[in-house]
Amino acid sequence: MDPIAVAEGLRDQVRARAEEIEQARRFPPDLARALSASGLLRMLVPASLGGLESDPATVARAIETVAEGDASSGWCLMIAATTAMMSARLSPDHAAEVFGDPSTLAAGVFAPMGRAADAGDHWRVTGRWKWGSGSQNAGWVAGGAVLMGEGGPQLDADGEPLHRMMLFPAGEVEFIDTWRTSGLCGTGSLDFAVKDLLVPKGRSVALHADPPLAAAAVFRFPAFSMLALGIAAVTLGNARGALADFAAVAKASTSQGSRRTLAERNVVQSEFAQVSGLVGAARARYYQAIETLWRAVQAGGAIPITDRAHLRLACAHAAQACAEATRRVYDLGGGAAVFLDSPLQRRFRDAHVITHHIMVAPSVFELGGRVLLGLPTRDALL
């Protein structure tokens, strides 16, 4: 299958239902089924499980394309597709149990908000996680958990707590409706919780430490880089969608007291060209950084930390540039843009929520700056 062509079809479906998706505060179940059936959730699943083993740029373009139609929909695709990366590191039996079904939709939260105590062949997990995007439609839900010992958290060689992602059947998870936000409303990113749940040790992974069991090069691509790449793809798709939305409005709308359409005004033409260039430049840097890191991964051996840092910086820069772009086209829309039936205000709100995700937040510039200045840096964070 061609993931980009499939994504284009989904883009058109979600664009037509963007307002409905926002009002529902979750990704509609019928669209979730269509997403599962599309095959896009298999982009980062090994071929041995019927997956596509797609290269990173293809994953990015597919997510970006769906987000052009609706950012919340692109976000749900991103979460499910990147959660499926676990399939390459799970024990073979558990990988087949969770991801062997082609219709599997898994969602998860990497942040170690839970605790896991050793119970022999299992972990006994308790926790409550925020930001459970798309989890209401998932058959499996993952949450990061700190590994606990008798005296407190187990620590790695650097003195940092050890943690793993634990996979739970959705039927054993409590979902708590906390998702009332200014943007990305349709992602359904509510809280979820488990208590004293036994998880087989083979159904848990440390994405930053466990080596992939599948041979394809894409599974050696740094996990945090893939997650950041997916988030940036959503913000780029949302910004490109905002540009398209404004162009359609500008050709049909006139300013008060003027017979000229917005598109015919010189100041609008100049500003729109500058904003288009802002998004285009951020997008070019982003795909260039993906390609550079992908070549390093394919070459084998150690992956230069500078290549990883440049991709993370490109992703954070894209999030900031796209937030600015959506603000500027929102401003160009004038008074009409403030009404809830204008897509420009939704694009603006969605973009500014994305900038708060830790993978593209301003703190990434500090992390990348340390690398560029040659200072010691915990590369697990990249």
The predicted-structure confidence for 71-128, as pLDDT tens digits, reads as follows: 999 999 999 999 999 999 999 999 999 999 999 999 999 999 999 999 999 999 999 9
Which pLDDT band holds residue 253 (cuts at 50, 70, 90)?
confident
Stated as kind and residue range, the H or E segment containing 112 is strand 106-119
* Matching residue, tokens 């499996």: 140
| Structure letter (DSSP) for residue 193 | E
pLDDT of residue 259: 74
pLDDT of residue 380: 77
State yes or no: pLDDT of 257 exceeds 70: no
Residues 315-343 have a mean pLDDT of: 94
Phi, psi of 34 (to 5 degrees): -65, -40
State yes or no: pLDDT of 201 exceeds 90: yes
DSSP string, 327-347: HHHHHHTGGGGGSTT-HHHHH
Contact 76, 26 (CB under 8 A): no
* Least confidently predicted of 157-161, 192-196, 350-354: 157-161
132, β-bridge pairs: 190
State yes or no: pLDDT of 153 exceeds 80: yes
Model confidence pLDDT, tens digit, residues 176-189: 999 999 999 999 99
Task: For strands 140-149 and 163-169, give the pairing.
Answer: antiparallel
Stated as kind and residue range, the H or E segment containing 204 is strand 204-205
pLDDT of residue 258: 67
Helices 71-83 & 56-69 angle (0-180, nearest 10): 150
C-alpha–C-alpha distance, residues 379 and 382, integer Å = 5
How many residues in total does the chain contain? Answer: 382
Cα 14 → chain centroid: 17
Q: Which two tokens stand for residue 9?
A: 């079809």
pLDDT of residue 336: 85
221-381 is a CATH 3.40.50.620 domain = no
Q: CB 315: neighbour CB atoms within 10 A?
A: 30
In angstroms, how far is the first alpha carbon of the chain from the final one? Answer: 31
Q: Quick one: which of 268, 253, 252, 235 has its CA closest to 353?
A: 235
The model carries a pTM of 0.96
pLDDT of residue 256: 62
* Least confidently predicted of 43-47, 60-64, 233-237, 261-265: 261-265
C-alpha–C-alpha distance, residues 148 and 151, integer Å = 8
CA angle (158, 164, 169) in 5-degree steps: 175
Residues 159-170 have a mean pLDDT of: 95
Which pLDDT band holds residue 381 (cuts at 50, 70, 90)?
confident
CATH class of 3-88: mainly alpha
pLDDT of residue 158: 82
Averaged pLDDT of the chain = 95
Portion of the chain with pLDDT greater than 90, in percent? 89
Domain ranges for the chain, please list them.
3-88, 107-205, 221-381
DSSP H helical ranges for the chain: 3-16, 18-24, 29-38, 56-69, 71-83, 92-99, 223-252, 266-299, 305-332, 343-354, 363-372
107-205 is a CATH 3.20.20.80 domain = no
